[in-house]
């Protein structure tokens, strides 16, 4: 469940990215040793350091101006990485046909992590090639699979 800060930052970041060819992938506001605001962006050909720096500067300015986050935090703008988490319906559509790792809350057929080719997602169930559909409520997380 997204926090108020995450929702607000999402709206601001999306408005800044409108028409840029960049996609807002995710926003996280977390407390680790320090507070971190992480903004993940992507585009089909991949993002560069300039893409991250441009958004970071614009976003930081607006967040300060609107006093969205009263406490100190560290802003990180980056790519979601090769093993990106799939969350939105368009993530699942874009990555259809690719290998994914599906982490489950409880084992299914003796397995808690499934690896397979993503063939479908309808909002209620996820389908991997050669498997029965998996209900969304049983899925903890879906990530792109990386072969090492």
- pLDDT tens across 110-140, in order? 999 999 999 999 999 999 999 999 999 999 9
Tokens of 82: 């090769």
CA distance 75 to 59: 9
Q: What is the pLDDT of residues 9-65, one digit of tens each?
A: 999 999 999 999 999 999 999 999 999 999 999 998 889 999 999 999 999 999 999
Closest CA to 23 of 36, 10, 41, 46: 41
Task: Tell how far CA 54 is from the center of its chain.
Answer: 20
Q: Which domains does the chain have, with CATH numbers?
A: 4-78 (3.30.300.70), 89-144 (2.30.30.100)
Q: At what angle do helices 49-66 and 4-17 cross, to 10 degrees?
A: 120
Cβ-proximal residues to 45 (8 Å cutoff; 6+ apart), any chain: none
């Amino acid at each position: 469940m997204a926090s108020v800060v995450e929702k607000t930052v999402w709206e601001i970041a999306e408005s800044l990215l409108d028409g840029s060819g960049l996609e807002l992938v995710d926003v996280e506001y977390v407390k680790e040793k320090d507070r971190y605001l992480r903004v993940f962006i992507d585009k089909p050909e991949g993002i560069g350091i300039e893409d991250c720096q441009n958004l970071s500067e614009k976003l930081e300015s607006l967040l300060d101006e609107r006093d969205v986050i009263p406490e100190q935090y560290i802003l990180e703008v980056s790519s979601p990485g090769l093993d990106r988490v799939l969350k939105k319906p368009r993530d699942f559509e874009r990555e259809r046909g690719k290998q994914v790792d599906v982490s489950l809350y409880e084992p299914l057929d003796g397995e808690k992590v499934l690896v397979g080719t993503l063939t479908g997602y309808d909002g209620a169930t996820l389908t991997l090639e050669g498997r029965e559909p998996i209900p969304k409520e049983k899925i903890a997380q879906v990530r792109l699979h990386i072969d090492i």
